[in-house]
Amino acid sequence: MSESKALLNELSDAVVAGNVSKACKLAEKIVNQGGSASLALDKMMDAMRVVDKKYERKEYFTVDVAAASTAMREAFKVLEPYLKVKPANIGGKIVIGSLKGNIQGLGKDIVAAALRSAGFQVVDLGVNVSPEGFVDEAMREKADIIAISVSVDETVPFLRDVVNILRKKGLSKKVKTIIGGRAVSEETCKDYDMNAYAKDAWDCVKKIRDLLNR
C-alpha cells in the first residue's frame, strides 16, 4: 500500500475513533506531502458513514458520534484551504441551516465551507432552524437561495412550511430552495416542490450555480 493511501486510511480510523489531535495531524501530513484534500475529505465522509452505522447498531452512543464529528470538523479546517473548488463568477447570497428537529450540523458545515470557497456569500443559521427562521433570515439578508439540510426523516414535512411561507410572502419566484442530507432525495425535492436537491457539498455548489443562472 502506498504511503498516501495508508495516511488516508489512518485519517479515516482517527475520525471513527474520535481522535481529534490525530485526525488534524494526519490531515496536515496529507496536504504537506502534496496529497489530495478532496480525497481526504471523501475518506472522512466515508468514516462518518461508518460512525452512523455503528450508532444504528448501538455500538456507538451519542458521545461517540459527537467525538467523531469534532474530529472531522477540526481536520476539515486543516483541509479547507486546499480544497479546489472553481470560484463562482456570479454573486449570490445563500442562507443555510439544518431544519427544525435536526441537531447534527456536520454535513451542513461542510456544504457551507464548500460554498464559501466557491465564492458565494453564506449566512449560516446553525441547526434546528424553524421554517419561519429560514424565510425571515432570507428576507433580512436579501438572499437568493435557502439551503436546507435534513438528516432526520420525521422532520421532512417541515419543508412544506418553508414553501408555503415563501408563497404567502410572494417570494417563491425570487428565493430558490435547495435541500440535502440523508433524509431527503430527488423524490423529496419533487414531492415538496423544492427547486433542487444536492447529493453532496460539491453537487450543491454546482446546483446553486445552475439556480442562479436561471
pLDDT tens-digit profile of 138-150? 999 999 999 999 9
Question: Which residue segments constitute the domains of the chain, with CATH numbers given?
Answer: 3-82 (1.10.1240.10), 93-213 (3.40.50.280)
Instruction: With beta carbons less than 8 A apart as the criterion, state whether 143 and 94 touch.
Output: yes
With vertex at residue 195, the alpha carbon angle to CA 191 and CA 199, rounded to the nearest 5 degrees, is: 85
**Residue range 159-187: mean pLDDT, rounded:** 96
User: How does pLDDT run across 74-107, given as a tens digit for each residue?
Assistant: 998 899 888 766 555 556 899 999 999 998 787 8
* Predicted local distance difference test score (pLDDT) of residue 145: 97
Can you list the alpha helix ranges (DSSP code H) found in 57-130? 62-79, 106-117
With a pLDDT cut of 70, the percent of the chain lying above it is: 96
Statement: the pTM of the whole predicted model exceeds 0.95: no
pLDDT at 195 over 80: yes
Encoded amino acid at 181, one letter: G
Residue 134 CB partners (closer than 8 Å, separation 6+):
95, 97, 125, 146, 148, 162
Q: CA-CA distance, 94 to 162, in Å (whole number)?
A: 15
Q: Please, what is the average pLDDT of the chain?
A: 90
Instruction: With beta carbons less than 8 A apart as the criterion, state whether 177 and 207 touch.
Output: no
**Residue range 149-161: mean pLDDT, rounded:** 96
pLDDT at 190 over 70: yes
